[in-house]
Structure 1
Amino acid sequence: MIDEDELLLCIECAKDIRLKKLIKRINKKGLCSCCENNEFIIDVDSNEFIQIIKALIRYHYSEWDYNEHWGGNGYGSLFYKSDNIFLNKGNFKDEDVYDELINRIECLEVYEDYDKGVSIFAGYDDGQQNPLLQSIKSDLDYSIKEIEYKLKSENYFKFEDQITQMLSEYSDCSKIKVKKKSEFYRARIGVENKKRSLFEGGFEGDLIFVPYSNSQIGAPPPLIAGIGRLNRAGVSYLYSATDKYTAISEIRPHPGDVVSIGKFIVNKELLIFDLTESQFLNFFQSDESLDKFGKLNTFTELMQKVIPPLERHAYNITQLIADCIRKLNFDGILFPSSVGNGENLVVFNPELMSYTYDEAEVVEIRDVSYEYFQRKWKKDISEIE
């Protein structure tokens, strides 16, 4: 039965990482109305849930995706899509509970005061339709994108002061501390050595591998450091990940590759500039806050943008962002992985982290999957005006 007065959603029934992080931040446990498990929960009638659900709609979707006057099927339909990105519908034990939850979402206030809450429709001004709302994810800050374009023909240091000033506006809310002894992972294709074991009588056994370790799997010395997402050629930063899967994904191995994995320990408390999804929780409460989120979100989107190996010149903007964050006296940057499920920590001084043989291992890649979408194309490009 559905409790008409209280409907609780747990962290496992939430799918969007930002909603999950909000539920974890609230830090309240109880019986989930959806899966009936005892987990971290949020009351769906609370202001936190109401505003973040509307903010997530705004983040992921443009208004023409759901506005019924412009070809959409209503924002409630987004929760019934096969690729629903908000909730784990499969976790719900009773479909009626899911329907009730979406019904409550569909009854939310869609127009809010600019500084009081989140609106999901642009509405009208003096009888004229305002421009439809564009998804926050795709509405990147023009001034930053302009600098990205100019970096194709102009030196990066011309824009250092401008980018540093933008980043400094978010220094306080983006400042986090990574505790001493925190653990992160790195991966490298290949191994230090391998040898086949022998049984009595000369029969061959399994291959035994020795993984890369210490400097072999750590940051390369400046002399051989190539171009990276955050470092320029000849500059050595230590890239690491919050989990092994992400560490492996970041090196983009092929099926059949043998990969060494190593763990690194933080030597002292680090001051890190946080560009992960957690930042969304500082800005989801109102339209005014979401507008302020624009520049910071642009930095995050640029950090996790997938860049093909042949287009590494596109790293000019992320290298500039890293330079400016370092100038603000941070030890490194935390940002979402573009290929894994976790996050990447890049430390400017590799000596701030040390290798440990704990959890060292060798794995063989069995399969790599791809997601794709169709781009616009023409048989003859000369037809384009």
Structure 2
Amino acid sequence: MNNICESCFEDKELKGFILSEGEIKLCDFCSCSNNKVIAIEELLDFFDELLGNFESHSEGSGVSSLISLIQGDWNLFRNNGTGSKFLNIIINRLALPFFNADVPVQYSQEILSNVNYWFKLKEQLKWERRYLIDINYLTDELGWDGFFESKFAVGKNDILYRARLHQNTNDEKFSPEKMFCPPRELSTAGRANPMGIPYLYLSDKQETILYEIRSAYLDEVSIGKFSVKKSLTEDVLISDFTEKPTIYHPTEVNKKIKSKLLKEYISRDLSQPLRRYDSELDYIPTQFICEFIKTFTGVKGLKFTSSLHNVGNNYVIFNQDIFECIEVNKINISKVEISYN
């Protein structure tokens, strides 16, 4: 088997490469004759780089087969069958220390040590040192300042939502001015913002923001619609923790893997619901990493998946002055669904 077509892959960058460099011939993997194909020799360097980031490992916690880990994290191939067939040929040609695509593996210790430093850093920030963390170690040694480069611009026609609970029945809806953050003197600590430094928390769905504020049956809520100020001339760039990253980035595969894994850890902590008995110490690591990202990327905020309403996404905006509240509506909560373990 020498040729493989773009339809045998799901990675959009790799598909694009085959479409630009390939020619229409019979695919030896799916037998399609209408797609562009490329000789697998053209992909040997990339897969040599990719597979060098895995280590064979005895079965156990955190260990998957090579094809399962690649597909589960990157969805590189159209399906597992095609991926296994292709990887078995590649492994044989590259003489890699894997027998086949089903060998149990995990990411290399170099990768795991890098991204798992997040857990050590969280303990340091909470219990050892808070204001004099070794930033040079995070940037020069671990390269974390390069892991948050994926950005997107919030469009001026995009609508985001913020909600406020009413304390008294039949109160008038809040004014647009009252839908913003409280004054810094009254600002409490959150997952992303330290006390006294208010950030604007928004969601991209009305239902999501109602989950986020823990609205209950018969609550009265004001929901504000927010958009980027029309007068703003620069793009509002956001660091995106929700994107589905591609792995086909020759010479940067190792970096892309670390970036994905680290962002998953941070996103999980950012979206962790605030509980009434949480300590503000638990917020310090995510407050720190938000400040780190803001400083080293220049983004205006973050986007991450809501853990309370997983079809919606949350936004943290570092400077609320770049948004305006264009409309406020008052609603009554008529139904609440509860699940439990």
The TM tier, using the shorter chain, reads 0.5 to 0.7
What is the one-letter code of the residue matched to 1:326? K
| Aligned ranges 1:307-326 → 2 under 5 Å | 307-311=274-278, 312-326=280-294
Name the CA distance, whole Å, in 2 between partners of 1:6 and 1:124: 26
Q: Displacement, 1:304?
A: 2.4
Q: Spell out, residue by residue over 1:65-86, the C-alpha distance to the aligned partner (whole angstroms, 9 max, x if none).
A: 899xx9x9x96xx99xxxxxx9
What is the one-letter code of the residue matched to 1:146? K
What's 1:142 paired with?
116
What is the one-letter code of the residue matched to 1:355? C
The reply on whether 1:354 has 2:288 as its aligned counterpart is no
How does the TM-score come out when normalised to structure 1?
A: 0.57
Q: 1:167 to 1:107 in 2, by over 3 A?
A: closer
Name the CA distance, whole Å, in 1 between partners of 2:87 and 2:263: 25
Equivalent position SS for 1:354: strand
Q: Displacement, 1:184?
A: 0.7
Could you tell me whether the CA contact under 8 Å between 2:59 and 2:104 is conserved in 1? no
Q: Displacement, 1:167?
A: 4.0
What's 1:244 paired with?
206
Identity %: 20
What's 2:217 paired with?
255
Q: Displacement, 1:284?
A: 6.6
1:283 pairs with 247, 264, 268, which one? 247
Q: 1:111 to 1:210 in 2, by over 3 A?
A: farther
The reply on whether 1:184 has 2:160 as its aligned counterpart is yes
The reply on whether 1:364 has 2:328 as its aligned counterpart is no
Q: 1:107 to 1:146 in 2, by over 3 A?
A: closer
Name the CA distance, whole Å, in 2 between partners of 1:217 and 1:308: 23
Name the CA distance, whole Å, in 1 between partners of 2:136 and 2:275: 28
What is the one-letter code of the residue matched to 1:237? Y
In structure 2, runs of 5+ residues without a counterpart are: 17-34, 41-46, 48-53
Q: Spell out, residue by residue over 1:206-251, the C-alpha distance to the aligned partner (whole angstroms, 9 max, x if none).
A: xxx6322323221111011111111111111111111111111111
Could you tell me whether the CA contact under 8 Å between 1:184 and 1:263 is conserved in 2? yes
Name the CA distance, whole Å, in 2 between partners of 1:257 and 1:322: 32
Q: 1:109 to 1:300 in 2, by over 3 A?
A: farther
Name the CA distance, whole Å, in 2 between partners of 1:22 and 1:369: 39
Root-mean-square deviation (CA, aligned residues, Å) is 4.7
What is the one-letter code of the residue matched to 1:319? Q
What is the one-letter code of the residue matched to 1:133? Q
Q: Spell out, residue by residue over 1:168-206, the C-alpha distance to the aligned partner (whole angstroms, 9 max, x if none).
A: 2134x3222222343210011127872xxxxxxxxxxxx
Q: Displacement, 1:142?
A: 1.9
Name the CA distance, whole Å, in 1 between partners of 2:84 and 2:315: 41
The reply on whether 1:133 has 2:98 as its aligned counterpart is no
What's 2:265 paired with?
298
What's 1:343 paired with?
313
In structure 1, runs of 5+ residues without a counterpart are: 9-18, 27-42, 52-57, 80-85, 87-100, 117-121, 195-208, 373-385
What is the one-letter code of the residue matched to 1:221? P
Name the CA distance, whole Å, in 2 between partners of 1:148 and 1:213: 39
Equivalent position SS for 1:314: helix
Name the CA distance, whole Å, in 2 between partners of 1:130 and 1:157: 45
What is the one-letter code of the residue matched to 2:239? D
| Aligned ranges 1:12-91 → 2 under 5 Å | none
Could you tell me whether the CA contact under 8 Å between 1:334 and 1:343 is conserved in 2? yes
What's 2:25 paired with?
none
Q: Displacement, 1:310?
A: 1.8
Name the CA distance, whole Å, in 2 between partners of 1:256 and 1:159: 46
The reply on whether 1:226 has 2:193 as its aligned counterpart is no
Q: Displacement, 1:299?
A: 2.6
Name the CA distance, whole Å, in 2 between partners of 1:110 and 1:213: 60
Q: Displacement, 1:157?
A: 2.2
How does the TM-score come out when normalised to structure 2?
A: 0.63
The reply on whether 1:168 has 2:136 as its aligned counterpart is no
